[in-house]
Amino acid sequence: MSWTIIGLCVAVWIGELTSPAFLDQVILAPDLGRTEPWRFLTSAFAHATTIVHIGFNMLAVWMLRGLETYLGGRRYTALYLISALAGSAVFVLLATPGSAEWYTGLVGASGAIFGLFGALVVVYRHLRQPMTQIWVVLAINAVISFSVPGIAWQAHVGGFLTGLAIGVIFVGEQRRRAHGGTDRTWAGLLVLTLIIVAALVVKYWLAGPA
């Protein structure tokens, strides 16, 4: 799935370069998310047209591909997509209706990637692996997220916190199965997804008519 995600992101990026109108169909702006909810996920496969944005994000996906080996393809895919959704959701939840940010577009896989990092923190802690390098990478990314203009730090925070939560679900189920318990992984992921969706419904309800 890691290579599939990279392939999809590159394909979308090529589509953006080929037709500027293509980006308009996948980008997420808070005012568009109400009536076109697919943008919460499609925006995570789109990037700025500069090679730097997609290059760094796809490098991160490639570097974190070992997490897929540990979790398995289905769990890794769920982690990636739910983290992407959460990153987009937090971006919208923290936007002020009617302000400029309400109409500002979001693209990039960073929310999903930070979700991978969040899960990796939990998995490394569970396996009692050295975590110094992870914390250094996260610290560098945190500085960049909050100091460089134009970066949607909200998506980074939302993705990371969701990745932590999903990591706890995965590790908890490993322990449960080790003691003969039933697998409740997908129920836990469903509940988490419903919470994210419910938060967005409330946000748009409070925001008033489109």
CATH number at residue 148: 1.20.1540.10
Return d(Cα 59, Cα 128) in angstroms, integer.
Answer: 25
Confirm whether pTM is higher than 0.75: yes
**100 secondary structure, DSSP code:** G
Least confident of 55-69, 83-97, 166-180, 189-203: 166-180
* pLDDT for residue 166 is more than 70: yes
Count of CB atoms within 10 A of residue 192's CB? 18
Contact between 199 and 89 (Cβ < 8 Å): yes
E strand or H helix that includes residue 187 = helix 185-207
Return d(Cα 108, Cα 84) in angstroms, integer.
Answer: 9
Identify the pLDDT of residue 90: 97
Q: Which residues of 92-126 are buried (b: 16+ CB within 10 A; e: fewer)?
A: bbbbeeeeebeebbbbbbbbbbbbbbbbbbbbbee
Least confident of 50-64, 70-84, 143-157, 193-207: 143-157
Contact between 170 and 75 (Cβ < 8 Å): yes
- Residue 125 CB partners (closer than 8 Å, separation 6+): 131
* pLDDT for residue 210 is more than 70: no
Return d(Cα 114, Cα 65) in angstroms, integer.
Answer: 13
Parent domain of 180: 2-207
Q: Name the residue with higher pLDDT: 143 or 170.
A: 170
pLDDT tens-digit series, residues 121-131: 999 888 888 87
Identify the pLDDT of residue 45: 95
* pLDDT for residue 147 is more than 70: no
Average model confidence (pLDDT) for the chain? 90
The alpha helices in 19-152, defined as continuous H runs, are: 20-24, 30-33, 39-42, 51-63, 66-71, 73-93, 110-127, 132-147
The residue behind tokens 């970066």 is: 151
Count of CB atoms within 10 A of residue 169's CB? 23
Q: What is the 3-state secondary structure (H, E, C) of 137-168?
A: HHHHHHHHHHHCCCCCHHHHHHHHHHHHHHHH
List, by residue number, the catalytic residues.
Answer: 110, 156
